[in-house]
Amino acid sequence: MFKVVPDQLRISDGWVRCGQCDEVFDANANLHSEPVPVSLEPEPPRDPVATTSPDPDWAASLRFASDESPKETEDDASNMSFTAEQSDAALRDHLHPDESLPVGTPVNESSDTGLDDFLSQSPKSLAQTPGVDHETPPLDAPAEPPLETLSGAAPRYTQAHVKVAEKDEVKQPSFMREGRGKSIWHKTGVRIVLGLSGMVLIGALAVQVAVHERDRWAAYEPSTLPALEALCEVMDCSVSPLRNIEAVVIDSSSFTKVRTDVYRLNVALKNNGPVPVAPPALELTLTDMQDQSLIRRVLKPQDIGFKANTLEPDAEFSAVLPIAVKAGNSSERVSGYRLLAFYP
């Protein structure tokens, strides 16, 4: 007789090895439960079930020493009492396999019922079983004896150990090592050249803007006039009064006939801007009864009578100009006029 732990039978599918003759046999066929003194209501008998012959690849051997000491026997009983409830469900599944599996040798009904009575007991009642040392403290976990695989049975699973190369051990291609070198844009000389080039470009842009907006800068900032004149000497340009036609308006005008071929033009110009502007030119257009153009004439600032080269802010300029029209059909048909201020 050998005492075994149900978990050991479940792991090895019931196959064990005798410690004296080294014979491998099915322990489930000769399993007997130890009678217990505590009287419990037995479960109703069940139909005999058949066990299936295990796969040889899944068979494992359990070696038990024949000269087992009483202390080891008591430890085994304690282990059985500790793991009885945890292994009840798994052992019942093993003892009652699926009906679709092959049918083997029927199991003894009396041994099945006795094992169920034994597994249905609580750890406390099993602890009072004669022959068990009650002073032995319960173990934290069931201690299972080492299992030995049957000779000739190959292990079902193998563990492969693959050495993973470290990051530093991986050899990089030559083109990647060269690409990771110091970039040419990070060299000191290149940085200096780039900085100087950027400053030159910014200066050239500032000069270009100054030349293009020289008249406006001189009108709004008269203090920059000497610098702009010096710049124009180099760039071959000149500083002129600001031309802002939006600031110049024709405040009033009139066109009357004096004689057959002579007319008189009265005009008043005003600067509504905040800075002085250049005097504009005038375009005079004579029209007929159908507002069709008959004669067009351009009057320059000198023809109008401007003496200064600027028209000051909020200043008005008035002029009276005689306009001569050649005799003929055109003078007889003149009935209106249009006047426009512009910069030529």
Residues 129 and 251 in one domain: no
Whether residue 141 sits in one domain with residue 17: yes
Residue 96: exposure state from Cβ atoms within 10 A (0-12, 13-18, ≥19)? middle
pLDDT at 47: 55
Is 211 within a domain?
no
- Whole-number pLDDT of residue 278: 94
Range in 6-15, 36-45, 179-188, 195-204 with the lowest mean pLDDT:
36-45
**pLDDT tens-place string over residues 116-125:** 665 666 655 5
More confident residue, 28 or 52: 28
Identify whether 60 is part of a domain.
yes
Show which of 132, 149, 166 is a domain's final residue: 149
Lowest mean pLDDT: which of 24-28, 82-86, 227-231? 82-86
Record the pTM. 0.43
Does any domain span residue 101? yes
Smallest CA-to-CA distance from 6 within 92, 68, 65, 73 is with 92
Position 289 confidence tier, pLDDT thresholds 50, 70, 90:
confident
> What is the average per-residue pLDDT within 231-258?
91
Residue 182 lies in a domain: no
Residue predicted with more confidence, 132 or 268: 268
Query: What's the average model confidence in pLDDT over 227-252?
Result: 92
Percent of the chain with pLDDT over 90: 30
167 in a structural domain: no
Answer with the one of 149, 170, 189 that is the final residue of a domain.
149
Confidence category of residue 54, pLDDT binned at 50, 70, 90: very low
pLDDT band, residue 260 (cuts 50/70/90): confident
Are 239 and 232 in contact, with CB atoms under 8 Å apart?
Answer: yes
In a domain, 61, yes or no: yes
Domain that holds residue 137: 6-149
The number of domains in the chain is 2
Q: Is the pLDDT of residue 221 over 60?
A: yes
Assigned domain for 258 exists: yes
CATH number of the domain to which 280 belongs: 2.60.40.10
Judgement on whether residues 23 and 141 belong to the same structural domain of the protein: yes
pLDDT surpasses 70 at 183: yes
* DSSP letter assigned to residue 27: G
Mark whether 20 and 132 lie in a shared domain. yes
Instruction: Examine residue 209 and state whether it is found in any structural domain, yes or no.
Output: no
Which of 116, 133, 149 terminates a domain? The answer is 149
Question: Whose structure tokens read 């600067």?
Answer: 271
Looking at per-residue confidence, does 178 or 281 come out higher?
Answer: 281
Residues 16 and 141 in one domain: yes
Please report, rounded to a whole number, the percentage of residues in the chain having pLDDT higher than 70: 54
Task: State residue 180's pLDDT score.
Answer: 61
Q: Is 229 in a helix, a strand, or coil?
A: helix
d(CA 244, CA 232) in angstroms, rounded, equals 21
